[in-house]
Amino acid sequence: MKRFGHSLGMLFALLLLLAAPPAARADTAGASLLNVSYDPTRELYAAYNDLFEKWWQAKTGQSVRIEQSHGGSGAQARAVIEGLQADVVTLALAYDIDAISEKAQLLPADWATRFPHNATPYTSTVVFLVRKGNPKHISDWRDLLGNGTQIITANPKTSGGARWNFLAAYSYGLRSSHNDDAQARAYVAALYKNVPVLDSGSRGATTTFTERGIGDVLLAWENEALLALKEHPGQFEVVVPKTSILAEPPVAVVDVNAQKHGTEKLAQAYLAYLYSPAAQKLACENGYRPRLISVYASCKTRFAQIDLVTIQSFGGWQAAQKRFFSDGGVFDQIYQAH
């Protein structure tokens, strides 16, 4: 019995040890910073955090540790609203950072003006991923309709990436009809009629297309499409449409949290350094389009020239969200029962 009590005590001690948080955040060696980001940026920020930690140490002599959190962009924003202690957020769309500002007042509404280029240090766009040899002969948006072509894209109601896809398709509909909204709607309605599966997130849609073999064409973030090429050599091809949308994943310091942690300067420097040539080069290597022209030109990844519209042509994210993706909006109308 005594032995039993003893081993039970040991077990508790062990459990406590395991449950204890790994080294308190404000350790004496240096500061730490929490970057709350969305799903596909995992590889990019793993590389960038290394780069930044070295640069900061060389510059200030202070060691710093960057912690990362990844998830769906909307879910991450909700976590911050509900109290996740993010010092900086790097999300898929401005709408999600707007929500943090609006619902929890953790940063001012004009956050997008605090860094260059609408606070987006790198951009992406929407391209097509098709199967080897492009059997359905897809070269542009109009080829997505007819010929029994099945299109894979996630549900824009639950996926930030899928919202960019939807708007890219809609903007093609507008261009091809001289800005006739009715025809643009008809185009996206016809397109979504050929979508057999609506995954809840972009990564899920990519898996459905690449691993399950469903569909003839995947509407994808350019960086995801390039990653799929790398991971499945010889199975897929990227088709670049003539027009698409400029996807701008923005970054912001979460002021209230950073002030509380005393990390304002560090957070500011962390995001500002994303615009440096070294960081821009990393972005480019990970399939994101860098903002710096010099890096863009010398980048190893070949980015095709596309005519890109911006979210501003839809009046910004707040307007676009309300019109297209809110309850009863344009997207819901496509799926109205007849």
Partner 1 sequence: MARDAIPGRSLALGTTIAIVTVGVLVPLCVVALTAAGTNGQALVAMLLSARALAAFQLTFGASLAAAVIDVLAGTYVAWILVRYEFPGRPFLNAIVDVPLALPTAVTGIALATLYSAHGFAGAFLEAHGLHVAYTPLGVGLALTFVGFPFVVRTVQPVLATLPSDLEEAAASLGAGRLGTIARVTLPLLVPSMLAGFALALARALGEYGSVIFISGNMPLRTEIVPLLIVTRLEEYDYQGAAAIATALLLTSFALLLAVNVLQRRFTLQKSRT
What pairing do the DSSP bridges indicate for beta strands 88-90 and 217-221? unpaired
H or E stretch covering 125: strand 122-131
- Single residue of 69, 177, 200, 259 touching partner 1 by CB under 8 A: 200
The answer to whether 212 contacts partner 1 (rule: CB under 8 A) is: yes
Shortest Å, Cβ 103 to partner 1: 6
Written as one string, the DSSP assignment of 64-80 is: EEEEEE---HHHHHHHH
The answer to whether 158 contacts partner 1 (rule: CB under 8 A) is: yes
Burial (0-12, 13-18, 19+ Cβ within 10 Å), 35: buried
The answer to whether 211 contacts partner 1 (rule: CB under 8 A) is: yes
Residues 7-66 that bind partner 1 (CB under 8 A): none
The answer to whether 198 contacts partner 1 (rule: CB under 8 A) is: yes
Taking residues 292 to 321 in sequence order and writing x for each that binds partner 1 by CB under 8 A, - otherwise, the string is: -----------------------------x
- Separation between Cα atoms, residue 249 and residue 239, nearest integer Å: 22
- Separation between Cα atoms, residue 326 and residue 324, nearest integer Å: 6
β-sheet bridge partners, residue 125: 246
Range in contact with partner 1 (rule: CB under 8 A) among 2-10, 153-161, 270-278, 282-290: 153-161
Nearer to partner 1, 198 or 219 (CB): 198
The answer to whether 118 contacts partner 1 (rule: CB under 8 A) is: no
- Single residue of 9, 108, 196, 315 touching partner 1 by CB under 8 A: 196
The answer to whether 337 contacts partner 1 (rule: CB under 8 A) is: yes
Nearer to partner 1, 162 or 247 (CB): 162
Nearer to partner 1, 99 or 247 (CB): 99
Q: Are 130 and 151 in contact (CB under 8 A)?
A: no
Structure-token pair, residue 64: 């710093």
Q: Is 163 helix (H, G, I), strand (E, B) or coil?
A: helix
The answer to whether 232 contacts partner 1 (rule: CB under 8 A) is: no
The answer to whether 110 contacts partner 1 (rule: CB under 8 A) is: no
Shortest Å, Cβ 131 to partner 1: 12
- Separation between Cα atoms, residue 169 and residue 244, nearest integer Å: 8
Shortest Å, Cβ 240 to partner 1: 27
Quick one: DSSP state of residue 140?
Answer: S
The answer to whether 148 contacts partner 1 (rule: CB under 8 A) is: no
Which of 267, 227, 199 is CA-nearest to residue 41?
A: 227
Quick one: DSSP state of residue 275?
Answer: G
Range in contact with partner 1 (rule: CB under 8 A) among 109-117, 129-137, 139-147, 206-214: 206-214
The answer to whether 1 contacts partner 1 (rule: CB under 8 A) is: no
- Separation between Cα atoms, residue 56 and residue 59, nearest integer Å: 5
Q: Which amino acid is at 269?
A: A
With CB under 8 A as the rule, give the number of residues binding partner 1: 29
Which of 323, 266, 280, 309 is CA-nearest to residue 121?
A: 280
Range in contact with partner 1 (rule: CB under 8 A) among 62-70, 169-177, 201-209, 260-268: 201-209
Nearer to partner 1, 193 or 260 (CB): 193
Quick one: DSSP state of residue 299?
Answer: -
Binding residues for partner 1, per CB under 8 A? 74-75, 78, 81, 99, 103, 155, 157-158, 196-200, 204, 207-208, 211-214, 321, 325-327, 332, 335-337
